[in-house]
């Protein structure tokens, strides 16, 4: 990468980042793609950054599930899992689904519940209470389910649950998960998990709903062998897309196709739960990855965070419009409550972390009474503010339950799992970017010291605010709906596939006003007659909001990604502002 000069000379922006433009090689590659394919330059810039050759450009822009879907049987235990699942369906055995309380767990459970309903079968849904039971299967719940059911399917959990699965006496257990596996697996019928230690990692980017979908694909294959028609799997892709985006799974490989196709399914508004929640969230445009991650996902998660844990899964699985409307209203109210709780914990955690110091390999904070349902979100906020892996822990009666979020290149889950295996933590596990843990309060300082040392070995102490990568400059007059739609054709954008960001240089701010709790609405232009609106979410969580609101007539470079805003049937381009620098 050419580091000779920061883009537009911005070494330190208002959010503390260095701006980096495309290097010479990237510019040449995008120009070559433009000449070879005739695609718009803005699209070629994205393709070049992803390393897509001209011959594959068309397929990349229209990812077909049939071309990208892996053979389900490439995952260990898959054939066995599907066979046992179908046996239970055929013989009308009693099935229970034990699901995690987040969107991925709820989406995974809904996939199975909807599929079974279409086959004329029902299943018991069990989602553990975050506070009373914690993450994953527990002995009491599994033993109780086993006494009443023939088959228990654990989704988005279970890979490390040796004891609880052993407690399920009298029932068979299948695990469909994606969290990091240990050296040994629990004794059960099948553990299907692309992150088992004996897998090759080729499908490590799948979330649990992706794994469940592949199991249903394999079940469909086995049904066809006996000339039985199964449910329409393509119609279930809205659930897979929602879980994939909300769980921050990388939008690469088959995940791109899951999300692209799933958004098309969602736009048909055939799933009453998602449609009702979209209405409550005041979504008035066709769904995009952004809506899944920032509007629908947080509301579905709210049940597991501060309400009743199974609300999200029930909403996604229901086919009753009245139940969907009631559940959506409840989840929306819980999400508002969650934000209030989060704000209080975030302020206390940030103050504590800053006092402790944020220049080490780990940023952490712990407090008595901090709600377990928001510690993960607050950890994300600390990570974003410091550019370091972060852990936030709520303490209650001598036990700390916490959640961590990592940054690119640092495997937090493996480090936490190692400390759990060593007995430093009571429990711990997850994946590279997110993990959970339970620790005795008396061992808290020691545990965080050891975790910091493990992360330092990975170089976490050398990190800082990440560079902001930019595609180039745009003038307001060039930011058209057509250009924005062309760029979106190279999406979806999200984790592992960042959206292209553009700079509007030397802009005059006409107005800047605070909206909501921490957002900023801006109107800007270049003085040549064209104005653009911008929205900056969370602007007041950094120096960005206060600086732009008090612009005083100064000019700024404004950086962000382009969005299409629809209001009363009219489409306009809006900048989703992410950073700025004084001219």
Taking alpha carbons only, the member of 122, 108, 309, 351 closest to residue 216 is 108
User: What does the alpha-carbon distance between residue 141 and residue 148 come to, in Å, rounded to a whole number?
Assistant: 11
Q: What is the mean pLDDT of residues 70-93?
A: 98
What's this model's pTM, rounded to 2 decimal places? 0.90
- Token pair of 167, please? 């407690």
Long-range interactions of 407-410: CB distance < 8 A, separation 24+: 407/383, 407/460, 407/463, 407/466, 408/466, 409/458, 409/459, 410/455, 410/458, 410/459, 410/460, 410/463
Taking alpha carbons only, the member of 166, 161, 88, 184 closest to residue 176 is 161
Residue 396, pLDDT > 90, answer yes
Which residue would you say has higher pLDDT here, 357 or 75? Answer: 75
Q: What is the mean pLDDT of the chain?
A: 94
Containing H/E element for 577? strand 570-582
Q: What is the mean pLDDT of residues 562-582?
A: 90
**Would you say the CATH fold of 357-462 matches that of 68-332?**
no
User: What does the alpha-carbon distance between residue 98 and residue 199 come to, in Å, rounded to a whole number?
Assistant: 24
User: What is the pLDDT, as a whole number, of residue 465?
Assistant: 62
Residue 2, pLDDT > 50, answer no
Residue 159, pLDDT > 90, answer yes
Query: Are 511 and 523 a contacting pair, CB within 8 Å?
Result: yes
Which residue would you say has higher pLDDT here, 530 or 262? Answer: 262
Highest mean pLDDT among 239-243, 483-487, 547-551: 239-243
- DSSP string across 462-473: G--SPPEE--EE
User: What does the alpha-carbon distance between residue 1 and residue 241 come to, in Å, rounded to a whole number?
Assistant: 33
For residue 436, count other CB atoms closer than 10 A to its CB: 23
Percent of the chain with pLDDT over 70: 99
- Token pair of 545, please? 């909001």
The string of pLDDT tens digits covering residues 226-247 is 999 999 999 999 999 999 999 9
User: What does the alpha-carbon distance between residue 256 and residue 395 come to, in Å, rounded to a whole number?
Assistant: 39
pLDDT band at 199 (very low <50, low <70, confident <90, very high): very high
Taking alpha carbons only, the member of 227, 228, 262 closest to residue 245 is 262
Residue 280, pLDDT > 50, answer yes
User: What is the pLDDT, as a whole number, of residue 134?
Assistant: 84
Give the architecture (CATH level 2) of 8-19+470-582: Beta Barrel (2.40)
Taking alpha carbons only, the member of 505, 524, 470, 526 closest to residue 581 is 505
Query: Are 536 and 544 a contacting pair, CB within 8 Å?
Result: yes
Q: What is the mean pLDDT of residues 495-524?
A: 93
Taking alpha carbons only, the member of 418, 357, 413, 400 closest to residue 382 is 357
Q: What is the mean pLDDT of residues 349-360?
A: 92
Q: What is the mean pLDDT of residues 487-498?
A: 90
- 3 state SS of 435: strand
Residue 568, pLDDT > 80, answer no
User: What is the pLDDT, as a whole number, of residue 157?
Assistant: 97
All residues at 6 or more sequence positions from 43 whose CB lies less than 8 Å from its CB, including other chains: 61, 486, 487, 489, 490
Q: What is the CA radius of gyration of the chain?
A: 24
Residue 456, pLDDT > 50, answer yes
Containing H/E element for 399? strand 399-405
Which residue would you say has higher pLDDT here, 148 or 26? Answer: 148
Residue 385, pLDDT > 70, answer yes
User: What does the alpha-carbon distance between residue 580 and residue 576 come to, in Å, rounded to a whole number?
Assistant: 12
Three-class HEC string of 237-303? HHHHHHHHHHCCCCCCCHHHHHHHHHHHHHHCCCCHHHHHHHHHCCCCCCCCHHHHHHHHHHHHHHH
User: What is the pLDDT, as a whole number, of residue 99?
Assistant: 98
Rounded to the nearest 10 degrees, what angle do helices 481-488 and 41-50 cross at?
20
Query: Are 556 and 515 a contacting pair, CB within 8 Å?
Result: no
Residue in this structure with the two tokens 């062998």, named with its chain if needed:
225
- Token pair of 82, please? 């599907």
Instruction: Work out whether strand 502-515 and strand 472-473 pair parallel, antiparallel, or are unpaired.
Output: parallel
75-89, 165-179, 330-344, 454-468: least confidently modelled range: 454-468
The string of pLDDT tens digits covering residues 521-536 is 999 999 888 899 999 9
Instruction: Work out whether strand 427-430 and strand 434-440 pair parallel, antiparallel, or are unpaired.
Output: antiparallel
Alpha-carbon dihedral angle through residues 73, 75, 81, 86, given to the nearest 10 degrees: -30
Q: Would you identify the CATH topology of the domain 68-332?
A: inorganic pyrophosphatase (n-terminal core) (3.90.1640)
Pick the CATH number of 357-462 from 3.40.190.10, 3.10.310.30, 3.40.50.720, 3.30.450.20: 3.10.310.30
User: What does the alpha-carbon distance between residue 179 and residue 194 come to, in Å, rounded to a whole number?
Assistant: 8
Residue 378, pLDDT > 60, answer yes
All residues at 6 or more sequence positions from 479 whose CB lies less than 8 Å from its CB, including other chains: 502, 504, 532, 562, 573, 575
User: What is the pLDDT, as a whole number, of residue 516?
Assistant: 84
User: What does the alpha-carbon distance between residue 228 and residue 88 come to, in Å, rounded to a whole number?
Assistant: 15
- Token pair of 223, please? 């049904």
Query: Are 473 and 505 a contacting pair, CB within 8 Å?
Result: yes
pLDDT band at 1 (very low <50, low <70, confident <90, very high): very low
What is the domain partition of the chain in residue ranges? 8-19+470-582, 22-62, 68-332, 357-462
User: What does the alpha-carbon distance between residue 324 and residue 329 come to, in Å, rounded to a whole number?
Assistant: 9
Counted residue by residue, the chain has a size of 583
Q: What is the mean pLDDT of residues 306-310?
A: 90
Percent of the chain with pLDDT over 90: 84
- 3 state SS of 512: strand
């Amino acid at each position: 990468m050419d580091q000779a000069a920061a883009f537009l000379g911005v070494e330190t922006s208002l959010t503390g980042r260095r701006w980096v433009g495309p290097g010479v090689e990237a510019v040449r590659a995008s120009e070559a793609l433009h000449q070879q394919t005739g695609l718009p330059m803005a699209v070629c810039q994205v393709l070049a950054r992803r390393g897509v050759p001209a011959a594959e450009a068309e397929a990349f822009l229209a990812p077909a599930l049939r071309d990208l879907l892996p053979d389900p049987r490439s995952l260990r235990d898959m054939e066995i899992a599907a066979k046992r699942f179908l046996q239970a369906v055929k013989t009308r055995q009693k099935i229970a689904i034990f699901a995690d309380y987040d969107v991925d767990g709820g989406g995974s459970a809904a996939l199975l519940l909807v599929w079974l309903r279409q086959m004329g079968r029902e299943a018991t849904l069990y989602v553990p209470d975050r506070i009373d039971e914690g993450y994953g299967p527990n002995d009491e719940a599994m033993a109780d389910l086993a006494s009443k059911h023939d088959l228990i399917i654990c989704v988005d959990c279970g890979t490390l649950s040796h004891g609880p699965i052993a407690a399920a006496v009298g029932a068979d257990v299948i695990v469909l998960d994606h969290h990091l596996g240990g050296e040994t697996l629990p004794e059960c019928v099948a553990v299907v998990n692309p992150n088992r230690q004996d897998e090759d990692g080729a499908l490590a980017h799948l979330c649990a709903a992706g794994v469940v979908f592949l199991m249903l694909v394999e079940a469909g294959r086995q049904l066809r062998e006996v000339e039985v028609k199964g449910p329409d799997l393509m119609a279930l892709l809205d659930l897979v897309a929602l879980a994939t985006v909300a769980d921050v799974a990388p939008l690469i490989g088959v995940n791109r196709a899951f999300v692209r196709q799933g958004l098309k399914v969602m736009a048909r508004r055939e799933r009453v739960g998602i449609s009702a929640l979209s209405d409550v969230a005041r979504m008035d445009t066709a769904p995009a990855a952004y809506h899944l991650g920032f509007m629908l996902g947080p509301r579905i998660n709210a049940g597991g965070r501060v309400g009743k844990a199974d609300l999200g899964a029930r909403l996604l699985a229901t086919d009753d419009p009245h139940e969907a409307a009631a559940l959506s209203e409840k989840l929306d109210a819980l999400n508002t409550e969650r934000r209030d709780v989060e704000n209080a914990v975030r302020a206390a955690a940030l103050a504590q972390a800053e006092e402790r110091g944020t220049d080490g390999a780990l940023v952490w904070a712990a407090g008595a009474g901090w709600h377990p349902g928001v510690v993960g979100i607050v950890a994300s906020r600390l990570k974003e503010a410091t550019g370091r892996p972060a852990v936030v822990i709520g303490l209650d009666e001598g036990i700390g339950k916490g959640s961590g979020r990592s940054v690119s290149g640092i495997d937090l889950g493996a480090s936490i799992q190692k400390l759990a295996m060593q007995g430093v933590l009571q429990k711990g596990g997850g994946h590279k970017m997110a993990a959970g843990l339970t620790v005795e309060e008396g061992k808290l300082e020691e545990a965080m010291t050891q975790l910091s040392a493990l992360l330092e070995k990975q170089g976490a102490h050398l990190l800082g605010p990440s560079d902001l990568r930019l595609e180039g400059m745009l003038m307001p007059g060039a930011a058209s709906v057509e250009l924005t739609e062309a760029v979106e054709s190279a999406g979806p954008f999200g984790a592992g596939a960042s959206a292209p960001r553009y700079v509007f240089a030397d802009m005059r701010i006409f107005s800047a006003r605070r909206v909501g709790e921490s957002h900023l609405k801006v109107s800007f232009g270049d003085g040549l007659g064209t104005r653009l609106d911008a929205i900056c979410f969370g602007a007041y969580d950094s120096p960005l909001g206060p600086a732009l609101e008090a612009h005083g007539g100064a000019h700024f470079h404004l950086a962000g990604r382009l969005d299409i805003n629809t209001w009363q049937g009219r489409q306009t381009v809006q900048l989703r502002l992410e950073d700025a620098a004084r001219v």
